[in-house]
Every structure is written in structure tokens, then in C-alpha cells.
Structure 1
Amino acid sequence: MSTGFQHVQSDLVEGFVPFPEDRAEEYRRAGYWTGRPLESLLIDAAERRPHHPAVVDVDGSLTYAELAARADRAAAAIAGLGIRPGDRVLLQLPNSVRFAVAFFGLIRAGAVPVMCLPGHRTAELGHFADVSGAVAMVIPDAVGGFDYREMAAQLVADRPALRHVVVDGDPGPFQSWSTLIDGGGQPPQRGPVDTSAPALLLVSGGTTGLPKLIPRTHDDYVYTAVSSAEACHFTSDDVYLVALPAGHNFPLACPGMLGAMTVAATTVFTADPSPEAAFALIDKHKVTVTGLVNALGKLWAQACDWEPVLPTSLRLVQVGGSRMSPEEARFILDRLSPGLSQIFGMAEGMLNFTRPGDPVDVVVHTQGRPVSPHDEMRVVDESGAEVAPGEEGELLVRGPYTLNGYYRADEANARSFSPDGFYRTGDRVRIFAEGPLAGNVEVTGRIKDVIHRGGETVSATDLEDHLLTHPGIYSAAAVALPDDYLGEKICAAVVFRGKPLTLAELNAFLDERGASTHARPDVLVPMPSLPLTAVGKVDKKKIVTQLSE
């Protein structure tokens, strides 16, 4: 194990905020950080259960030995392109066995994958490439009518540093993923892996402006996968279904695919999370655990009334992404699965789970308790002072798997962290101080201006910035409206300069701007003017009240 940065490119750690050495040593002494590189999760599982199915999708499966061999060939091919240890690579593949091969191929080559989501478009991908200094990207050819190759052509035209585009499928003018790895040989030989350096870059949900990049080190991400698997009582007999986009922190490591690998269990991928498709996969592969956003969990539970094939093998369903009411939690427990784990967490690190075996009141009334004994939580008021036990306030956290700074984002870091290194989550919570719920967290609201739509965190500010570039828009506000299926839907309240646009016209404009598909308004409300607060700011609470009435 190395604790410095001498074994990685110096360029990688420029703009990376490491863990303070005193805390790092504390986490090592506690046994949370063991010096394991991220790739060891696959290597160790392949040694333990080489012939056990590792990853499965609609097209086939790979055993652990086969996945390790395929990842080695991918690593050799990646290195053959001239991609060096520490280089960043945008990874934007749909849920599939090939996602797992590409992820571990990049990690095995020492590259740092930037975990893009399928709905990200030119605006976000360009931002990620610029901030990270990415030298390559791995994309599909076309999915759902969207041609990722055309987007890639726009991105590389203005970015000489983005030297390679590798396409899964018809490559068009770029390089073919299958041809590339078929020609791969032995993986590159590397020196000791610095496990305190970034292994991958996750994408923030976005609270102000474009999403930020979240550096996750080998040490903290291995610990995330291991501790999450333990909290969910994972065993080698479990089968985990990736129903959400695999690049998300939740299905990747909470416990997700990586957590399944810590016990050499099987991971099944689906690109279609509809009840009909998912229930058939669950039945076929005897899936035992999956992670869903709350809206999808409710839909699956409702679908148990009409789907001919039911998910009877499930032992645990994780739900997260937005606050769930006790009634909704009971509905999922009654209809979908005998076990429910509420999750309150973030790609920045901090995770709270309810556990199998918890009393029902804990499971339905709280969002759980921290994964690690060394997770530190403060609940503070608007002045930054800690509130009385059991009172509401903003949650500040730090611990062995929570970031110490966004990647190359000094201004955001100045806002997002306290002087002693606590991350300001922007979530309003209370921590029960006594009684049967003591020690568990209840999420009561949020402080940051975001919309939780179908499990995605959408920055209202970013959407408003896009809207205000339209010449026909005078002012605009993005607000959240409650929705039975999405949790919250996006409403654009707009003051037009002349003839109002239709919702379809507005979203076509956002498409041309390259805005994420999950950040498009569901509702458009033309208004003569936007209400203001006493200090002259747009009064979003009043907008929501007016629309609700």
C-alpha cells in the first residue's frame, strides 16, 4: 500500500483534495482502509469462485474468470491506445455486461473512469471533459433514438485533448469497442497502486450550475462496497439486479455490483426497469436484492396487482433518491418484498441504511443510520450552530468514505465544506435522540435548490440558466411539484417576451442546447410576472402555492 501520490500521474492529483493524514491513519487503524485497489474486488472473486456467474444481461453472461480475462484484454487494448495510468476517460454505457467489462478494463489499465449517465448530453459531457481533462470516451452507438456518435463528434471537434472515442456497436468514424478488445493481449504491468488516490470520478446530482465531479479513492470506495454489502447482509447466494443506470453510485457500490463482488455473488443488468421486463428477469435469475428509486418501487408494488409473473425471489428491496412516507414504505413491504431498506445517501459519500432485521417502525419511519461507526454527523441551524438533540437542521458530515472536496472546483468547495472539513449536504434532517428510533435519521426537507425527479437530482439553477438563453424568455423559475410516480416533477414558470412557447418547443430548444434528458420540464406555466420576496428574490414557495391552488 502506498500513502503518497508518487505512483500516479501528477496531473491526476492536481485539484484533488485528499483525506487529512491524521484521519487517514485513523481509518487504517480501524481496519476500514486495507490498501486494496478497486480492481482487487474482481480479482479476489475470480480466485474464490472462478466458474460462478459474475455478470448477466439479456444477451448472455460471464463467469468471474471470464469477466476477469475480458477485463484484462480490455485493459491491454486501452493501454495500447496510449492511455496511461491516471488518465481520465468518460464512460457512458447502458446497463450491460459490457459496462462491467469496460469499467474494470479502465480500472485495470490504471485509467480513471468518469461515470457519466445515459441521459447526459453535450452540455454535461463537455463540462466533464473540460474539468477532468479526459483523453477518451467510451459510448454506445445509439440508444432510444439518440445517436451518441453525433454527440461525440461535437465534443471532440473543440477538444484536442479528447483523442479517442470508442464505440460499443457500429463505430461510424470512431473506434470499435469489440474490435479493440478482441485484439487485446496481456494487461499492462503497473507499479504499486496508490490506494489514497482517485480510482474513479462520480457525478454530483447538481445543486448549483452544472454537475460537479466527485473523486472516490480506492480506499474509500472499496470500503463503501464492503460495508454496504455487510449492512444488507449480502452472501454468495445473493443475486443483485441493476435496474437503475449503472453509473450511479447507488447501483454501482451501495452495495450494487461492487458490493456483490465482495462476496462473489451474481449481478444481473437490465436496461428496461419496467415491471413486466424486470419481473421476468427476477423470476428467471432468482434475483434476491435490487435498488430502486422510490417512484419505481411504488410502481413495481402496484404492478404486483396485474403482472402475471411476480418477483417472489426478492428478499430485500432498497429504496432511495427522495423522501418516502411511512404509508409508501408499508405499501412496498406489503406488496413487493418481505424486506425493505430505506437509504439516505449521496455520491459524495455519506450513506444511511435501515437494515434487515430492524423493527418495522424503524424501516417505515426513518431513512436509517450511518454505515460506518466513524461517520460523523452534525445537525446545525442557519447560523451554523448545532441544534438540540432530536431537532431539525442541515446535516453536515465527514467520515471514511465522504469526499473532502469536489474535483477541481475551488469555488464550490469553499461553499460546500466547513473549516474543519465537514461536507454541507444541503439536506434538512433530524436524528432521533431517544425511544425506539434513536440514532436513526429522518429526512425532513432540503436547503439546496434542487428537484428530485425519478431518482435524479436536478439543479434548478442550471435549468434556469438554460431557459434564460432563449431570446423569447424574459425570466424563468424551475420549481418542484409533487408527483405520485416521479416523486417530484419539474415545472418551468416562465415570463415570455411575446408569444409563449409550447412545452414541446421549449424542450426541443433544451435538446439543441445539449441539456440532460432528465432535466427537461414536465410542466410549463406561462406567468405575467414572477412573485418576489421582500429582498427582491424570486419567491419559489409562492409560485408552488399558486400552482397548487
Structure 2
Amino acid sequence: MTIEFNHWPLDRAQRYRDEGYWIDKPLTHILQTRSQSQPHALAIVCGERRFSYAELDQLSSNLATRLAASGLGKGDTALVQLPNIAEFYIVLFALLKAGIAPLNALYSHRKLELKSYAKQIVPRLLIASREHEVFRSDSYIADFKEVGTHPEITLLLGESRHEKNLAEWIETSGRRAANFSPTEPGEVALFQLSGGSTGTPKLIPRTHNDYHYNARASAQVCELTAQTRFLCALPAAHNFLLSSPGALGVLYAGGAVIMAPSPEPLTCFALIQRHEVNTVALVPSAVALWLQAAPEHREQLHSLEFLQVGGACFADSLAHQVPGVLGCKLQQVFGMAEGLINYTRLDDSDEQIFTTQGRPISPGDEIKIVDEQGIPVADGQPGMLATRGPYTFCGYYRSPEQNAQAFDNEGYYYSGDLVQLTPTGDLRVVGRVKDQINRGGEKVASEEIENLIVMHPDVTHAGLVAMPDDRLGEKSCAFVVSRNPNLKPPTLRRHLMELGIAEYKLPDRIRLIETMPLTAVGKIDKKHLRQLLAAETTRTWLQTRVLQLVEDCEDLDPEENLIFYGLDSLQVMKLAAELKERGIVVSFEELADSPTLASWWSLVDTRQKAA
């Protein structure tokens, strides 16, 4: 029994084997090789616990044996949700050994995401932690049944019942032996999650062949060795931290992975000092926090040699600060869970390292940069990135409609990124197609403006989103986090104008906020920003509309009953109809039940978030 997925065309698959990209070995080969060649070398550090390669191999085999004895094996799937702890890797290798394909949910995912994943893969096995809010009680069982699935076996960290205690399954191999083996190298090894910041992530089937090459080639490009001490501070399940080069790349090279609960600077600085960490991977938002905290803690960072930054475009101004403030080399990473990975090389020029996101890891990577009609753009011009290659997938799991939009007839995957090709052959990411703002026909790439705003010394984070406009179609709104409480929007516009950008690129609105909402993997949560903007826009419209309907009133107390201002039931019915035209379904009865502006704001906020 195998898991269905979109295979590579036969001619390309044969070429990838002939050229040595695919070596027809399972991902478990990474651990097997190291446990034989350096069994006592350090593999994982988790708090006070230390695991050698031999121990990691043995514990994962214990669990694989128990799973196989329970009737699980090739063709089965598992839904896994664990925090940044050693058990994450023990479970991963156990499932790979037993031929069970895991979907590793991020620990920040909650009921909505987990139910969606379960509905898609119908897992026979569920592995999670009792400390997570979804699994603190057994109510999760009903949640899974609600979407038509019920895992036959559930294993939980922190579980009191022996038959469901994950730690016990890991420590003992069971009373009876059971045979187990990985799926074939050309079959699905695991599922990754798409990196989009909106909506439930789509599922990406990754095979042993393509993912092994992904990790192997990344480790070689990044020059990892047995002396590598890698800090895993972002979610371990994320593709960046798992295979780019991530933990799999580090283990392939014979190094050690040091677990951190989060990228919080002071916690990480202490781990770096204690374990002599020399390599770390972060997203730009985390780097900004590290740069703020580092000057007072430089003595803790003496061992740090390389900082890899990926997950989002990294502002030039922040990139230039890394060597001086953190005392280490910078390596930019631009990749996607769907495949293509780019790195700046360790011997690249400062210009390349600070201003580009590098170039592909493989000679087998094929790239084209095209306009909206699919025509290749001139060198140096921005365009949509399309790619195919030995580790870039050929289709989302059971998503024919999505695949029809994401791939062309030559098998190129369109990532949604807007990039430029530099004279040195590197890619520079200038935005996302869906982040592009069409302001009266003029296109504005959000990330370009965000990077320019962050160059202001008082700014730590910036996110630019579109807002509807009757005249231009779209305008732009910049959400900005500043370390200076006195910073004003005119100052930022002056800053942008002094940088020499076109006037149409200036944000139409600048909104200063205390903290920037982030996704589970540390990217700016554009969906949340759009919700904030939509809520504010609707609140302003609603207040203006009510003032138009009532007489002899220039201002409203949001807590006062609007009947006292002269608003009648016919006018409330009209407001309900107008809200529906704006895409917000609120009944006349709901408005009439609590006729105050404050309660109406709350009601429409809730409806907009649900939509």
C-alpha cells in the first residue's frame, strides 16, 4: 500500500538518478550511517538531556517496533504535534523507519488546523502532548470524529495511562518483535505544510529521494561538519529548520542539534554560551529582536559563527548589522517547503550576502522569471518565479484545483514570489504576487516598501497591506512597530521620500502599533493586519453612516442607545442591508437587540474575522 501523490515525469526522474541527485536511499539512511560511524557522538541536546546517535537510533527503533506490532506500517499516515523537544526527532525517525508518513503540525496550531489536517490525511496514528490546549482533556476525540476520522492509536506526552504514554512506547520496544521498514525511496516519506500566511496550509508530499537530496545538498553548500552545533529555535517541524539544512542536514554532517523552546534572545544567548553553538537559523523578525538585545550580551555569543536568515525577505539595513552586532557571518536563505532552496555562499561578496537571497543549491534546478503573460522578463527586471527540479514537488496532496493554478504545462511550479535576477546570478526577492498592491495600475511590491521603512533607525518591524479604494482600486497601509513612542507618520514618509522612491509607492496610510502579529513560523501575519484594517474601515464607515442617518448630532457616545439619537427601526433595517452589500451579514434583529455603536462595532468585527 502506498500514498498517492503527483510523481515526477519518468524522463526527469531517470535524469535525477543518472546525475546522482537521487540515490534511492530512505531518509533513515542519514541516522543509520551516523549511528554506525560515530555511535557515541552527540546528536541532540534537550535541556539537561543529551542523546548520542546510537541512542537516537535505538529509541526510534523501540517506537517503530511497537508501532509495527500494533499493525501500523507502509501506506499509513500520522498526525504529529510536538514542541521543540528531543522526542520530535525520535518520533520522526521512528515513523520513517516504520513506513508511516507523518504530517508534523506546528505547536502553535490549534483545533481548526488540526481538524483540517486530520480530514485530509485520515491518520491511523496521533502523537501529541497533554500540555497543548487541544489535548488537555479527551474532548479532542469528538473533534476528530466531527471531520470523519478517529485515529486508532493515540500516544501523548504527559499521559498517565500506560497504553497511551508516548514516553513509555519510546523507552521499551515491546514484548514481541515486529518487522518494519521504510517506504520505497521514490514514495512519500512525510508531508510538509505550505508556507502561506493566510488560510489553512496545503499539504506537500515529500519523498525520501527528493528530501534526502534537499538536506544533503544543503549541508554541503552550508559547509556543515561534525563540529556543527546548530540551535533549533524556530519550530522544529518547519521546513527551514528540518531540511534547509536544518536538523537533517546537521545530522547528515554528523553535528549536533541544540533545542531551544523559542527564538527569545536571552534564552537563546544562554544556550549558545553553554553549548558553544556556532550556527543558528532565524526569520527576520527574530533577528531584529536579537540585534536589539545583543549589545549587552556579546560575551555570550563568542562561539556563534554563522547566522542563517530565511522565511521572509531580509531588509538590507538589518543584514548589514549582523556581523558587527552579533559578531558572526550572515547567510541568507530563500526557500520553500515545496522545494527550491537558495543560499548565499559563505565566500560570497558582502554585496551578495547583504542584498540578495542567494542562488539554487542544485545544477538540476531550473528557473524562469516571467511576467503576467508567462513571457520571460529582461535580466534584472522583477517577475514571477517558476521552478522545477530534483527536489521541487509536482503537486499538492489531493488538490487538483490548486495544482492547476500552481503549475504550467511544462511542470514548472509558480511559487508566488516576485524576484529579480542579479548580474551575479543571485535572486533578489522583492515581494509576493499576492502581496502586490495595484494602486491605480501602478504595482507596489509590499516587501520592497517594508524593507525601506525598516531602514529608519526607530523602526523594528513593518508590514504593508492593501486597502480598498473607490478611486484607485487599492491603496496601501503600512503597519509599523517603533522603538520610539514619539515617531509620527510624516517622519516616515519623509524618510521614504529621502530614499528617492516614486511617490506612488509612499504608503497612503501609516498605522503605528505596539507589536507586529506573526504567524507560527515568525512571518508577518498579513491576514491579521488585513483584518485589523478591515475592522477599522468598517467601524469608521458605520459611525459615519449613523451620523448621516440621525439629525442634530455631530458626535456619538459609542455606549449610548442610538434610539436616543433618533435612529428608528427602518433606518436600522437599511443599515443591515448596506452591511450585507459590503459582505458583512448582520441581521436587523441582531442590530436592534443591542442598538449602541460599540456593540455594533463588536458584532461586525466578529463577522469579518469569521469571513
- Give the TM bin, normalised by the shorter chain: 0.7 to 0.9
2:295 matched to 1:305?
Answer: yes
Residue of structure 2 in register with 1:403 after alignment: 393
User: d(CA) in 1 for partners of 2:177 and 2:85?
Assistant: 22
Query: Which of 394, 402, 419 is 1:412 aligned to?
Result: 402
Residue of structure 2 in register with 1:426 after alignment: 416
Q: Is the 8 A contact 1:72 1:187 kept in 2?
A: no
Q: Deviation string for 1:405-439 (max 9, x for gaps)?
A: 0011111101111111101111100111x3xxx10
User: d(CA) in 1 for partners of 2:139 and 2:221?
Assistant: 40
What amino acid is the match of 1:399?
G
User: d(CA) in 1 for partners of 2:258 and 2:477?
Assistant: 36
Q: Deviation string for 1:89-147 (max 9, x for gaps)?
A: 0111001111111111111111001021011111111111111121121111114x665
Deviation at 1:305, TM superposition (A): 1.5
Residue of structure 2 in register with 1:120 after alignment: 109
Taking a change above 3 Å as real, the CA distance of residues 191 and 122 of structure 1, as seen in their structure-2 partners, is closer
Residue of structure 1 in register with 2:537 after alignment: 527
2:399 matched to 1:394?
Answer: no
**SS of equivalent residue, structure 1 residue 237:** coil
Residue of structure 2 in register with 1:5 after alignment: none
RMSD (Å), alpha carbons: 3.1
Deviation at 1:263, TM superposition (A): 1.4
User: d(CA) in 1 for partners of 2:167 and 2:275?
Assistant: 26
Query: Which of 408, 421, 433 is 1:447 aligned to?
Result: 433
User: d(CA) in 1 for partners of 2:434 and 2:40?
Assistant: 47
Deviation at 1:36, TM superposition (A): 1.0
Query: Which of 70, 74, 88 is 1:81 aligned to?
Result: 70
Taking a change above 3 Å as real, the CA distance of residues 206 and 182 of structure 1, as seen in their structure-2 partners, is same
User: d(CA) in 1 for partners of 2:411 and 2:45?
Assistant: 40
Residue of structure 2 in register with 1:92 after alignment: 81
User: d(CA) in 2 for partners of 1:484 and 1:248?
Assistant: 29
User: d(CA) in 1 for partners of 2:477 and 2:136?
Assistant: 30
Q: Is the 8 A contact 2:128 2:135 kept in 1?
A: no
**SS of equivalent residue, structure 1 residue 201:** strand
**SS of equivalent residue, structure 2 residue 528:** coil
Deviation at 1:448, TM superposition (A): 2.3
Q: Which moved more, 1:171-180 or 1:287-296?
A: 171-180
Runs of 5+ consecutive residues of structure 1 not aligned to the other structure: 1-8, 462-476, 486-502, 508-515, 539-549
Q: Is the 8 A contact 1:139 1:148 kept in 2?
A: no
User: d(CA) in 1 for partners of 2:139 and 2:242?
Assistant: 25
Taking a change above 3 Å as real, the CA distance of residues 248 and 446 of structure 1, as seen in their structure-2 partners, is same
Taking a change above 3 Å as real, the CA distance of residues 176 and 449 of structure 1, as seen in their structure-2 partners, is farther
Taking a change above 3 Å as real, the CA distance of residues 297 and 34 of structure 1, as seen in their structure-2 partners, is same
Taking a change above 3 Å as real, the CA distance of residues 440 and 479 of structure 1, as seen in their structure-2 partners, is same
Q: Is the 8 A contact 2:197 2:527 kept in 1?
A: no
User: d(CA) in 2 for partners of 1:33 and 1:216?
Assistant: 13
User: d(CA) in 2 for partners of 1:333 and 1:364?
Assistant: 10
Query: Which of 41, 59, 68 is 2:48 aligned to?
Result: 59
Q: Deviation string for 1:27-52 (max 9, x for gaps)?
A: 11111111110011001011111001
Within 5 Å, give how 1:286-365 maps onto structure 2: 286-307=276-297, 309-365=299-355
**SS of equivalent residue, structure 1 residue 206:** coil
Residue of structure 1 in register with 2:187 after alignment: 197
2:479 matched to 1:481?
Answer: yes
User: d(CA) in 2 for partners of 1:153 and 1:518?
Assistant: 30
User: d(CA) in 2 for partners of 1:270 and 1:192?
Assistant: 29
User: d(CA) in 1 for partners of 2:476 and 2:73?
Assistant: 42
Q: Which moved more, 1:168-177 or 1:353-362?
A: 168-177
User: d(CA) in 2 for partners of 1:306 and 1:151?
Assistant: 46
Within 5 Å, give how 1:249-288 maps onto structure 2: 249-288=239-278
Query: Which of 74, 93, 102 is 1:104 aligned to?
Result: 93
Q: Is the 8 A contact 2:65 2:180 kept in 1?
A: no
Deviation at 1:325, TM superposition (A): 1.8
What amino acid is the match of 2:140?
A
User: d(CA) in 1 for partners of 2:151 and 2:403?
Assistant: 26
What amino acid is the match of 2:184?
D
**SS of equivalent residue, structure 2 residue 89:** helix
What amino acid is the match of 2:241?
P
Q: Is the 8 A contact 1:317 1:337 kept in 2?
A: no
**SS of equivalent residue, structure 2 residue 261:** coil
Deviation at 1:190, TM superposition (A): 4.1
User: d(CA) in 2 for partners of 1:482 and 1:81?
Assistant: 53
Deviation at 1:222, TM superposition (A): 0.5
Taking a change above 3 Å as real, the CA distance of residues 316 and 170 of structure 1, as seen in their structure-2 partners, is same
Query: Which of 23, 42, 47 is 1:34 aligned to?
Result: 23
Taking a change above 3 Å as real, the CA distance of residues 537 and 379 of structure 1, as seen in their structure-2 partners, is farther
Deviation at 1:149, TM superposition (A): 4.6
2:120 matched to 1:131?
Answer: yes
Runs of 5+ consecutive residues of structure 2 not aligned to the other structure: 437-445, 451-462, 467-474, 484-512, 518-522, 542-580, 584-611
User: d(CA) in 1 for partners of 2:76 and 2:140?
Assistant: 18
Residue of structure 2 in register with 1:218 after alignment: 208
User: d(CA) in 1 for partners of 2:368 and 2:540?
Assistant: 36
User: d(CA) in 2 for partners of 1:223 and 1:187?
Assistant: 32
Q: Is the 8 A contact 1:95 1:271 kept in 2?
A: yes
Q: Is the 8 A contact 1:115 1:247 kept in 2?
A: yes
2:220 matched to 1:230?
Answer: yes
Query: Which of 356, 367, 374 is 1:377 aligned to?
Result: 367
Deviation at 1:484, TM superposition (A): 6.4
User: d(CA) in 2 for partners of 1:222 and 1:537?
Assistant: 49
Taking a change above 3 Å as real, the CA distance of residues 517 and 229 of structure 1, as seen in their structure-2 partners, is closer
User: d(CA) in 2 for partners of 1:409 and 1:484?
Assistant: 41
Taking a change above 3 Å as real, the CA distance of residues 482 and 154 of structure 1, as seen in their structure-2 partners, is farther
Q: Deviation string for 1:218-259 (max 9, x for gaps)?
A: 001000111111111111111111110000000111111100
User: d(CA) in 2 for partners of 1:519 and 1:53?
Assistant: 40
Q: Is the 8 A contact 1:121 1:151 kept in 2?
A: no
Q: Deviation string for 1:360-418 (max 9, x for gaps)?
A: 11000100000111111110101111111221100001111001000111111011111
Task: Give the alignment's TM-score, normalised by structure 2.
Answer: 0.72
Q: Is the 8 A contact 1:167 1:174 kept in 2?
A: no
Count of residues paired in the alignment: 470
What amino acid is the match of 1:349?
G
Residue of structure 1 in register with 2:607 after alignment: none
Deviation at 1:76, TM superposition (A): 1.0
Q: Is the 8 A contact 2:25 2:185 kept in 1?
A: yes
**SS of equivalent residue, structure 1 residue 142:** coil
User: d(CA) in 2 for partners of 1:117 and 1:388?
Assistant: 39
Taking a change above 3 Å as real, the CA distance of residues 308 and 385 of structure 1, as seen in their structure-2 partners, is closer
**Higher RCO, 1 vs 2 (CA within 8 Å, ≥6 residues apart):** 1
Deviation at 1:148, TM superposition (A): 5.1
**SS of equivalent residue, structure 2 residue 159:** coil
Residue of structure 2 in register with 1:69 after alignment: 58
Q: Is the 8 A contact 1:279 1:309 kept in 2?
A: no
Q: Which has the larger radius of gyration?
A: 2
Q: Is the 8 A contact 1:240 1:267 kept in 2?
A: yes
What amino acid is the match of 1:440?
D
Q: Which moved more, 1:299-308 or 1:86-95?
A: 299-308
Q: Is the 8 A contact 1:113 1:200 kept in 2?
A: yes
Task: Give the alignment's TM-score, normalised by structure 1.
Answer: 0.79
State, as a whole percentage, how many aligned pairs show the same letter: 34
